Amino acid sequence: MVKYDDSDLDHVFRALADPTRRRIVAALGSGERSVGELAEPLAMSLPAVSKHLGVLERAGLLKRRRDGRTHHLRVDPAALSPAADWIETQRRFWEGSFDQLATYLESAEGSAGE
């Protein structure tokens, strides 16, 4: 079983719980973007976008690079790995549990018909 740092997972899941932050992460899926490029399609002020970026950075999901006054951001895929691993572990557990339940129910139906 994989060990997880609950506080790191909490930060990642809390950061990704907001739809605006998920949109930002999705936008960065095609590569590095400037803060202005990320803010352009969002219907909010630049300071509001900066707050969202700060949450994502504190969760370790974003890396920032400065080029003069322009800030460029990219996703750090390593930060998503613990969350993806946790989700995969849960998926395997629950699929296995449902498979076992289905097998049990099928055998119980067969026994009842005898």
The answer to whether the CB of 36 falls within 8 A of the CB of 47 is: no
Would you list the domain boundaries of the chain?
6-112
Sign of CA dihedral 82, 87, 90, 92: negative
- Rounded distance, CA 48 to CA 51, Å? 5
Q: What is the DSSP letter of 66?
A: E
- Rounded distance, CA 38 to CA 82, Å? 25
- Rounded distance, CA 17 to CA 11, Å? 10
Q: What architecture does CATH give domain 6-112? A: Orthogonal Bundle (1.10)
- pLDDT by 10s per residue, the chain, length 114: 445 567 778 999 999 999 999 999 999 999 999 999 999 999 899 999 999 999 999 999 999 999 999 999 999 999 888 888 888 988 888 887 777 777 778 887 776 655
pTM exceeding the 0.85 threshold for the entire prediction: no
